[in-house]
A and B are shown apart, each in its own frame.
Chain A
Amino acid sequence: KAGVTQTPRYLIKTRGQQVTLSCSPISGHRSVSWYQQTPGQGLQFLFEYFSETQRNKGNFPGRFSGRQFSNSRSEMNVSTLELGDSALYLCASSLGSRGNEQFFGPGTRLTVL
């Protein structure tokens, strides 16, 4: 069974630009969550999508948005990039109930210059 894949793996952008990251969950998984990992703040929850609907949202500004498609693939978008958005962005998928294991992808390393 293929794992969670994230594209691209590495990305360099400049302040003010916008970026779209992609996540393909494990086949059959309907829940996709996004996390931001930085050295200072650790892993922070961004949002979770389940069956194309945002089910949960973390405490991030509106510049961070996401969506999920009917095949469960998900994208997250960050507009008007700031230097502080430089981070590892992790996507995780699961069947959707809390007792189900959540599988993480390798992440996308975003650097904002």
Chain B
Amino acid sequence: DQQVKQNSPSLSVQEGRISILNCDYTNSMFDYFLWYKKYPAEGPTFLISISSIKDKNEDGRFTVFLNKSAKHLSLHIVPSQPGDSAVYFCAASPRNSGYALNFGKGTSLLVTP
């Protein structure tokens, strides 16, 4: 069963606006969350992560928010740029799991000029 869910397969946003990508998880043992970005014919590239002891982490234009009670996290990209167009994967890791990442199925973001 899918323990990490990205319910929006695609999202289209205008350049300069905010992109919000959502992710829900079901396993309460997850305590480390990551976002990856993937271009066609390339492997995923790490974007940003957050530990369950935090509720927000920022890195430049990217901010991840974690709501543990709702088992929900989101990635905000502000401002969105055409080069951000890619597939974004949410991933989660349970405690004491090393690098056993559970991935969502991805959201395809299209940023239009």
Contacts and interface: CB of A to CB of B under 8 A. Distances in A.
A94 B41 CA distance: 21
Nearest to B32: A98
Chain A contact residues: helix, strand, loop or mixed: strand
A77 interface: no
B46 A33 contact: no
Chain B interface bracket (under 10, 10 to 19, 20 to 34, 35 or more): 20 to 34
Contacts of B93: 98
A102 B93 CA distance: 12
B12 interface: no
Interface in A82-97: 90, 92, 94, 96
Contacts of B99: 31, 33, 48, 55-56, 92, 94, 96, 98, 102
B98 A55 contact: yes
Nearest to B41: A106
B82 interface: no
Interface of B: 2, 32, 34, 36, 41-46, 49, 89, 91, 93, 97-106
